[in-house]
Amino acid sequence: MKTIGIIAAMPSEVKDIREALGEPEIKKIAGYDFNINKRGDATVVNVCCGIGKVNSAVCAQVLIDSFKPDYLINCGIAGGMSADVKVCDIVISKDLMHHDLLPRFLAEYPPYHNTFEADEYLIKTAETVCSEMGYKSHIGRIVSGEQFISDSAVKAQIVSEFSPLAVDMESSAVAHCAYRNSQPFVTIRCISDNADDEGEMTFDEFEKVAAKRVADVTLRIIDTVK
């Protein structure tokens, strides 16, 4: 029986997953509530880690150490960073980076790494699932930092330096933790806003819609992976 770990930052991002999985066994570790369910031939462990890179990294490490998942899926909503990526599209991580680190200052201090590759099997599975469900998906870079991006000038700077498709506040930290543990992972994000001057207004309008869509995709992936 396989074990699949699901990590998301906000209650809205796990709400629909938890409703679909039903009544869980809950294990509280390091202040996090890990919800454990059986679904088909899988044990599914889902957790709400809280916002930000520290929360997500600590939670991801606890999840890996305590439950030893075969696959780790980071899911939720994100800001769009490309004109080709529209609100409610799905972005599947090819690789992930921290956008609030300056590599030129850190390159001389190994071990330093700032590009984290997602698992090819999980990428392809997510892409197939999105196609089957009729959702437009994009495979590319996701970046994360300790700020909600809602300023067009800040967005332009991040795009110039990193060329991402999406931005959030947790994914790169989960990816960093997975990299350190040789843990197969993928990040799946549904776009809730365009991370520009209208970002907060768009986020408020589409948060629940985007969260429901990415939850549906995540559940289908759980049922699909071997």
pLDDT-based confidence at 104, cuts 50/70/90? low
Cβ neighbours of residue 3 under 8 Å, at least 6 residues apart?
42, 43, 44, 45, 67, 68, 69, 70, 71
Catalytic residue among 89, 170, 193, 196: 193
CATH code of residue 88: 3.40.50.1580
Q: Mind listing the pLDDT tens digit for each residue in 20-31? A: 999 999 999 999
pLDDT-based confidence at 208, cuts 50/70/90? confident
pLDDT-based confidence at 36, cuts 50/70/90? very high
Q: How many domains would you assign to the chain?
A: 1
Q: Which pLDDT belongs to residue 207?
A: 83
Domain of residue 11 covers 2-224
Q: Which pLDDT belongs to residue 193?
A: 82
Q: Would you call 193 a catalytic residue per the annotation? A: yes
Q: Which residues of 33-45 are buried (b: 16+ CB within 10 A; e: fewer)?
A: ebbbbeeeebbbb
How far is Cα 82 from Cα 59, in angstroms, rounded to an integer?
Answer: 29
What is the arithmetic mean of pLDDT over 173-190? 97
What is the arithmetic mean of pLDDT over 181-207? 77
Cβ neighbours of residue 106 under 8 Å, at least 6 residues apart?
112, 114
Q: Mind listing the pLDDT tens digit for each residue in 51-88? A: 999 999 999 999 999 999 999 999 999 999 999 999 99
Q: Would you call 65 a catalytic residue per the annotation? A: no
Catalytic residue among 13, 16, 89, 168: 13
Is the pTM higher than 0.95? Answer: no
Q: Which pLDDT belongs to residue 199?
A: 44
Cβ neighbours of residue 165 under 8 Å, at least 6 residues apart?
80, 81, 82, 84, 85, 91, 138, 140, 141, 142
Q: How distant, in Å, are the alpha carbons of 2, 100, 111, 134 from that of 108?
A: 40, 17, 9, 46
pLDDT-based confidence at 147, cuts 50/70/90? confident
